Structure 1
Amino acid sequence: MVNLSGKIQNWVINAVWAEANIVSIDRLKGSTSSTLHNIKLETDGEVKEVVIRQFDNKEWLQEEPDLAVHEAESLRKAADAGVFTPEIIAYDKSGGVSGVPLVLMSKLRGSVELKPVDRNKWLNGLAEALVKIHAVDAEDFPWSYFSYNDANEVEIPVWSTIPATWKKAIEIVKGPRPKVRECFIHRDYHPANVLWENGSVSGVVDWVNACAGPAGVDVGHCRWNLAMLYDVETADGFLAAYKNHGGPAFKYDPYWDLVSVIDVLFGPPEVYQGWVAFGVTGLTNKMMVERMDLYVESLVKRVYKA
């Protein structure tokens, strides 16, 4: 059993049920920016599972010191979506319990699926869940979308074999942003944050970045993940499925796909360790570079065809 400090354990027990006993504590795989544990408690003869997040990334906390409050409020807002999401149980915004902010939430059923037997059905499920999230109004939500990278400061990647295409991509993102209706967005929607059970989506997790923003940001981020994890065809399949579920209310613009790519441009692309933790094998950093170029090339072609 993974050990958590006595202070954290007591805080969890008091938040769940003062007379509960902790049965087990296990670290959850896949988290790369904070530490997550699954805790099983015995409560009056029944076993209850909860998840605790420790925000122990100092750099992230310096940039966003309200992370615990943000996730707590995001979970409350996400409860309005037509998908299963964790329920907020308690949070420590200042680190008074253990020195770092904490969020305690319910545990969802299901598991991450990155090797689907029926990829089209899987993409359809991913898209349908995201459309339901975007149906939530975010007019009163205090956190708003912002880009992680300033396109005016981004340079053409030296590792790319298609620098001229990247130059076009950056120039497009530097241009005017399309006017869109903002909605509630997850902001980190990708296959490793979606749970499945019996072939259907059973929940969506990791809501700490949720905000009011363009639906295209979520679509674009998920498409980039799919292009890197699989190929451009899979990313395009997800877009087609999202368009089908979103209907005429969704106005696709490849601008947001390119913004999502620029947002992750912090150096040569590497294999995301979250994929490795969930059993994906065979990927290399060289493949990530090749797939990034192929994806950007496909996006620039979309822009000039429009």
Structure 2
Amino acid sequence: MVSDEGVEGIGADPGGQGWGATRSWVEKGLSEAEHIENVVHLRGGWTSEMRRLDLRGPGGRRSLVLRSFVKPFFVRHAGGLLTREAAVLRLLGDTDVPAATLVTVDATAQYCDHPSLLMSLLPGTVRLDDQDADDRAELLARQLVRIHQLAVTTRQRPRTYQAWAAPERVTLPVATERPELWQRAVDVIRQEPPAYQGCFLHRDFHPGNVLFTGTGDDLQISGVVDWVETSWGPADLDVAHCSTALALLHGIPAGMRFADRYVAAGGTLAEDGTAPLYWRLLDALGFAPDAEKVAVPWRELGRVDLTAGVLAQRLEGYIGALFGRYA
């Protein structure tokens, strides 16, 4: 949600989904004499339409970000997703996690064209290129440790995690030369989930949801976005999700190193012989058969080299590497 696709006029409909009622809802909540000057469609999102709203008023200019769920599946679940994200953003406001500030939310589209959430604009950009990927991975690991160490009350605790893969729902690649590897992986997640020590999870932590500023010694994380899936569960699950993404983006070794980076940064992962493999495969199989779901927004952000063939090869190789290390 960081790359600008183009500035639209105030009455324009970036994304083609209709937003007249949503715009009116936003404007009613603005400061006196403040108005929307420009609307910019933000690329890189998959679950929702993202817009940057450039505002102008007597006090000068500022920008906000509008998230709207428009796909039928996410519209159906928007009440829970956006209500959860709003609660998490309020919670994170009192922490050192660089998250947006909640402005307002209409989780059930009572006033908007689609379920929507309005929040502050964070500085920085998503960076998915291979250059400096190792440096960014170090920062990702440190940031994830801080997220997992957040202390929350029982009342503040988010819902228990939901698995994004199940043995009966995994779509196996048709053209694979290693069907036995995939079947072995599916058999692993047929087991009961290992016992775990729960912690606060982002649940969708990966390079596409983290903003960076600076270069070299000045490189730093300026924002972590997309808190709609925030959950309570094993740290291994967040580490697994970021590891899979890194393997797909930058190659299998990058994915395999992330757990070590996380532990070196002060994080704690499961040590039981079966648990690490279970959590990592549970995540990786959610991308089967070829990770094309994430490839679309990644290509929009410049990674046109990540073809379906490349990602399918990396995903299969990563699963093989997981067995090589943890089985």
Q: Which residue of 1 aligns with 2:269?
A: 250
Instruction: For residue 192 of structure 1, give the secondary structure of its aligned residue in structure 2.
Output: helix
* Aligned counterpart for 1:24 among listed residues 38, 41, 54: 38
Deviations 1:35-78 (A, max 9, x none): 01001112323211100111111112334542221221122233
- 1:204 counterpart letter in structure 2: V
- 2:200 counterpart letter in structure 1: F
Deviations 1:66-121 (A, max 9, x none): 22212211222333543210111100122122232110000000001112533321
Structure 2 CA distance for partners of 1:81 and 1:224, relative to 1, 3 Å:
farther
* Aligned counterpart for 1:48 among listed residues 62, 66, 83: 62
Structure 2 CA distance for partners of 1:29 and 1:156, relative to 1, 3 Å:
closer
Q: Which moved more, 1:256-265 or 1:292-301?
A: 256-265
Cα distance, 1:9 vs. partner?
2.4
Q: Does 1:206 align with 2:226?
A: yes
Structure 2 CA distance for partners of 1:82 and 1:180, relative to 1, 3 Å:
farther
Cα distance, 1:297 vs. partner?
0.3
Q: Which residue of 2 aligns with 1:174?
A: 190
Structure 2 CA distance for partners of 1:135 and 1:43, relative to 1, 3 Å:
farther
State the distance in 2 between where 1:258 and 1:66 align.
Answer: 27
Q: Which residue of 1 aligns with 2:324?
A: 301
**Partners of 1:123 and 1:237 within 8 A in 2:** no
Q: Does 1:113 align with 2:127?
A: yes
* Aligned counterpart for 1:60 among listed residues 67, 74, 77: 74
State the distance in 2 between where 1:95 and 1:48 align.
Answer: 25
Structure 2 CA distance for partners of 1:77 and 1:159, relative to 1, 3 Å:
farther
Aligned residues: 302
**Partners of 1:38 and 1:50 within 8 A in 2:** yes
Instruction: For residue 50 of structure 2, give the secondary structure of its aligned residue in structure 1.
Output: strand
Q: Which moved more, 1:71-80 or 1:29-38?
A: 71-80
Q: Which residue of 1 aligns with 2:105?
A: 91
Cα distance, 1:156 vs. partner?
4.5
- 2:67 counterpart letter in structure 1: R
**Partners of 2:51 and 2:65 within 8 A in 1:** yes
State the distance in 1 between where 2:43 and 2:258 align.
Answer: 25
Structure 2 CA distance for partners of 1:107 and 1:83, relative to 1, 3 Å:
same
Q: Normalising by the residue count of structure 1, what TM-score does the alignment of the two structures yield?
A: 0.91
Cα distance, 1:6 vs. partner?
4.0
State the distance in 1 between where 2:77 and 2:54 align.
Answer: 32
State the distance in 1 between where 2:94 and 2:323 align.
Answer: 36
Q: Does 1:219 align with 2:244?
A: no
Q: Does 1:162 align with 2:178?
A: yes
Q: Which residue of 1 aligns with 2:150?
A: 136
**Partners of 1:112 and 1:192 within 8 A in 2:** yes
**Partners of 1:78 and 1:133 within 8 A in 2:** no
State the distance in 1 between where 2:120 and 2:256 align.
Answer: 34
**Partners of 1:152 and 1:174 within 8 A in 2:** no
State the distance in 2 between where 1:26 and 1:109 align.
Answer: 15
Cα distance, 1:161 vs. partner?
1.9
State the distance in 2 between where 1:210 and 1:227 align.
Answer: 23
Instruction: For residue 222 of structure 1, give the secondary structure of its aligned residue in structure 2.
Output: helix
State the distance in 2 between where 1:84 and 1:69 align.
Answer: 19
Q: Which residue of 1 aligns with 2:210?
A: 194
* Aligned counterpart for 1:184 among listed residues 200, 217, 222: 200
For structure 1, the residue ranges without an aligned partner over 5 or more in a row are none
* Aligned counterpart for 2:83 among listed residues 39, 47, 69: 69
State the distance in 2 between where 1:82 and 1:161 align.
Answer: 47
**Partners of 1:227 and 1:292 within 8 A in 2:** yes
**Partners of 1:159 and 1:268 within 8 A in 2:** no
Q: Which residue of 1 aligns with 2:252?
A: 232
Q: Normalising by the residue count of structure 2, what TM-score does the alignment of the two structures yield?
A: 0.86
**Partners of 1:81 and 1:133 within 8 A in 2:** no
State the distance in 1 between where 2:303 and 2:199 align.
Answer: 32
- 1:243 counterpart letter in structure 2: V
For structure 2, the residue ranges without an aligned partner over 5 or more in a row are 1-7, 14-18
- 1:208 counterpart letter in structure 2: V
